Structure 1
Amino acid sequence: MRVVAAEDSYLVREGLRLLLATQDDLDLVACVATADELRAAVAEHGPDVVLTDVRMPPGERDEGIRVAEELAGTHPGLGVVLLSQYLEPDWAVRLFDGGAAGRAYLLKERVGDLAQLRHALESVVAGGTVLDPLVVEALVRGRAAQRASPLTRLTPRERQVLGLVAEGLSNAAIAARLVLSERAVEKHITSVLAKLDLDPGDGTVHRRVRAVLLYLSEAAG
């Protein structure tokens, strides 16, 4: 797996370099500090996945998301893992707005957790979607606090299942985590999607992603 990383902090950049160097099947082909350098590295190396901070020079605002938005058009098969130091619902909404496939949103504290980082990298390369568990937890809490929220229609078990879906777990993985049958997990997910009033015509995969984006968009509002 060929990786391009973008992070303006020298210490974090070197930490990523050392961490990924321990994995024989991960090839860090470039590690850069700015949005312009990230664009150039993608063009030069043609990586499988980009691992990027949200805020980078020159503006230190949302450069990582801007590049991710550009790459969705210029490199549609390229996976992107976005790292954020803080929970910013607006950024998560923007990251997934153009399509959730091959996108991950993680808090930067996950950088030191190799298993979590590998999971995100592998998932986006395979076309999957990953949301940081802490992001999901915070969004679910905020979403549940809204009295008019469709989330209030969900049972505690359905909320738990939806949280695991948002983390990027498959039905089989959710079943193993909760000690349920896959059929039971499927029934919970079907119930969640129905209670959230998501259009059945959108397809199951898209509806699963939309269920998570519903949390993000309402939290951002």
Structure 2
Amino acid sequence: MGASRLESAVITRHGAGGGLLAACACLMLMSPSGAALGEDRLYRWTDEAGQVHFSDRAPEASDRPVESMAMPESPGAARREGDPYSVINQTRRMEAERKARELARRRAYLDELEERQRLAEIEAAEARTRQLEAEAQRAREPVYVLPWGWLGRHHHHRPPRPRTQEYPPSPRSQMSLKRPGRSLKPVEGTVPQR
């Protein structure tokens, strides 16, 4: 079947049932090609081999009877545009919804990016302010000039250890707290112990 004109449909009588014939006839009747060209007749005939033909043009040389039918009115474009359940309208609606979601996603991304940049700028400004305040505070601190030789707190030395009072040595007593040592030499008159 051509896109610009409906040439002819051939159905063998032995292979096709009544349902296929009716479906083919409905398909040709609803085909927009004939209606777009202004043709309003559909022709049906059977050739010598028993094949049924449908066409939007009458056969040129045929001794068989040709049945001519009026094409039904196809639904107008206005009716198709108003049908919310038509495939075209559903596709358009889904495409519009997809574009709206994509636009909303992009706007949200840009808003988030702008917010991040704004927060980064605020943080940088606060850091600069803190740095300037610290420099100003250091500039306000007094500077003292110390005399020569003063070590200051950074050169910390341990103070000298206080001296303990030393008492004069006491006289030695005659009594020793030490135990007398044993002599290796035995004393006379004693028996050595074993």
Q: TM-score, normalised by structure 1?
A: 0.19
Structure with greater helix share of residues: 1
Tell me which structure has the larger Cα radius of gyration: 2
| TM-score, L = length of structure 2 | 0.21
